[in-house]
Chains A and B, each alone.
Chain A
Amino acid sequence: MQIRTPASLWMLWELGDAVRLVNELKGNAADHVVLTGDGKADAEVLKALCIRYNGKGIIWYPKPPMKGRRISGLGVFKAIKIYPGKYHLYNFLVLVDREHFIERMMDRRRDRKKRDEKGMIEEYLTNVVQIKLSPLKDISPGSAWRASGALGPHKLRIYPVIMGKKKAMEEEFASLLILERDKLKLTTRD
């Protein structure tokens, strides 16, 4: 069985030392903001991963409301247009479950517009969030990218991450557990 490294792990490597996850800023400035959908599992995994790195920079994850009023999907990208002007935050780690893309792909099949996940994100950021976007660069093909763009006078850096193989973040848990188990096996053999 081939084990894929979870996209969130790739992303944390990409962010370097900016891996201290906080829910409350308490007067400190954030380097990155985490945007998620309903986010319960996302928060737990990110927290666990960040503990391993314990970096200097701050990833701020303002927890979403417990009972989300709406299903977010790609809508989570919309928050990007509020942050730069009002909160002076320009770097975003956006976690979206793959199921939302699969739903969209099904819709697209019907109207004969074919786009992969990367294309959908580019389209959404450009047309809905209205960011002047440079093409997304692969970090983990099909799962994680780096994008630069501009929203009015603000320069932005966005890291979209798609969680899960078919559905959601929970599948990444499984991958991580298998990776850990294999690592343990190797250590025991040594």
Chain B
Amino acid sequence: MFVNQLDIKEFRGIKKCSEPIPLTGFTVLIGRNNSGKSAILEALSFLPHPMSRVHFRDRDKIGFVKDLHSGKPLVYGYSGTAEITFKMSAIKLDEEEWHIKLSSYGKTEGIEFYYQKDSTVDASNWATLLGIEKNKLENMVVFLPNDTEIIKELDTKLMRMKDQIMKLGAHVSVAKHINECVDDDFTEILLESHQLSLRKELPDGNVFYIQLNDLGDGIKKAIKIMLLLEVIKPDLVLIDDFEASAHPGLIGMLLKWLSKKKWQVVLSTHSIDVLYQLLEVRPEDLSILQFRKTEDDIQIHETLTLDDLEALIDANQDPRLLVDALGVG
């Protein structure tokens, strides 16, 4: 596991967390709209260093998250200092807590990253400390917001990774996974002439080549994400609104695929289908984090295990609705 705890103060819409948020190997975030699920994913996306690059754009991680919003400071109320504290488990340094401070006062904005008090570390030095090349920092954490533009932009990245995809055989293995949840028979994904297409075999032996961008949004997104992650093999995968455009069959296939890899997964969802499918897939080290935000923007959470989820679903209780009871009893 890469990161096992997160604490947030004055970041985005969260004034503070009532307690630090525990993370497991496979964490699913549920809660009402605006309960802070995306903010948690965004905070985690700053790992391993907020000034390292993202895959999709020529942007650092902070800039990327700002682009997803209005471009205004990411600090609570747009002014002051945000503090994000991570407890790391995969990388052993002198201190297990890593800290990010984002400050915004008028036109002055600052970013600090440190793991020992009063000792800010830049991205290059951080890579050296971790014993990796600076450009490898971006491979450690992949954050996929629910943004169709970003999924579109992935094409360029995937074309650049064509040789790695082919060498790993991901163009064939991903097509096979996709066949589990569609009525078509795709044999491979082709990365030619600056576009992705799928080779489809018909029962009479005839073959079609279908442009990936002509397929439905759910399949398109799944294929691109799977190809990217197969090559990058990050330590931490973050997916916002996981179920977007996906049929329960596709949700189940993706959960199964994600849970079989070595990476840590944190995803957010509003879908009961995701919760039902989790009971089928039963990922190892699963936790469901329920969130509620109080009127004064304090984020409260509760953890459900796989057994808890099973007991609730068996009793026909919807865990998404039970968040209402957090912090009011």
Contacts and interface: CB of A to CB of B under 8 A. Distances in A.
Contact of A35 (B313, B315, B328): B315
B321 A63 contact: yes
Contact of A69 (B294, B313, B324, B329): B313
Interface stretch (B88-96, B102-110, B120-128, B304-312): B304-312
Could you say which of B311, B315, B317 has the most chain A C-beta atoms within 10 Å of its C-beta?
B315
Could you say which of B304, B313, B316 has the most chain A C-beta atoms within 10 Å of its C-beta?
B316
A72 B315 contact: yes
A27 B328 contact: yes
Contact of A82 (B295, B308, B328): B308
Given A27-B295, A86-B304, A72 B326 contact: no
Contacts of A87: 302, 322, 325-326, 329
A60 B308 CA distance: 20
Contact of B321 (A28, A35, A62): A62
A34 to B, nearest CB: 11
Interface string A26-60: 11111000011111000000000000000000001
Interface residues of B, number: 23
Contacts of A77: 315
Contact of A78 (B315, B322, B325, B326): B315
B214 interface: no
B284 interface: no
**Secondary structure of the A contact surface, majority rule:** loop
Contacts of A119: none
B133 interface: no
A104 interface: no
Given A62-B324, A79-B311, A88-B325, A69 B317 contact: no
B318 interface: yes
A88 B316 contact: no
Contacts of A63: 318, 321
Contacts, number: 80
Given A65-B272, A86-B304, A36 B316 contact: yes
Contact of A86 (B302, B315, B318, B328): B302
Contacts of A78: 311-312, 314-315
Given A63-B321, A86-B304, A70 B326 contact: no
Contacts of B321: 24, 62-63
Contact of A39 (B295, B316, B326): B316
A28 B314 contact: no
Nearest to A24: B324
Interface in A65-123: 65, 68-70, 72, 75-79, 81-83, 86-89
B313 A30 contact: no
Contacts of B272: 65
Given A25-B324, A38-B316, A82-B308, 19 more contacts: A27-B295, A27-B328, A28-B328, A29-B328, A29-B329, A30-B328, A62-B317, A62-B318, A62-B324, A64-B318, A70-B316, A75-B316, A78-B314, A82-B304, A82-B311, A82-B312, A83-B325, A87-B302, A89-B325
The 8 tightest CB contacts between A and B, nearest first, are A88-B329, A79-B315, A87-B325, A62-B321, A25-B324, A72-B316, A64-B316, A75-B314
Interface of B: 272, 276, 279, 294-295, 302, 304, 308, 311-318, 321-322, 324-326, 328-329
29 contacts: A24-B324, A25-B324, A25-B328, A28-B328, A30-B329, A35-B315, A35-B317, A36-B316, A62-B317, A62-B324, A63-B321, A64-B318, A65-B272, A65-B316, A68-B316, A69-B313, A70-B313, A72-B316, A76-B315, A77-B315, A78-B311, A78-B314, A78-B315, A79-B311, A79-B317, A86-B308, A86-B322, A87-B325, A87-B326
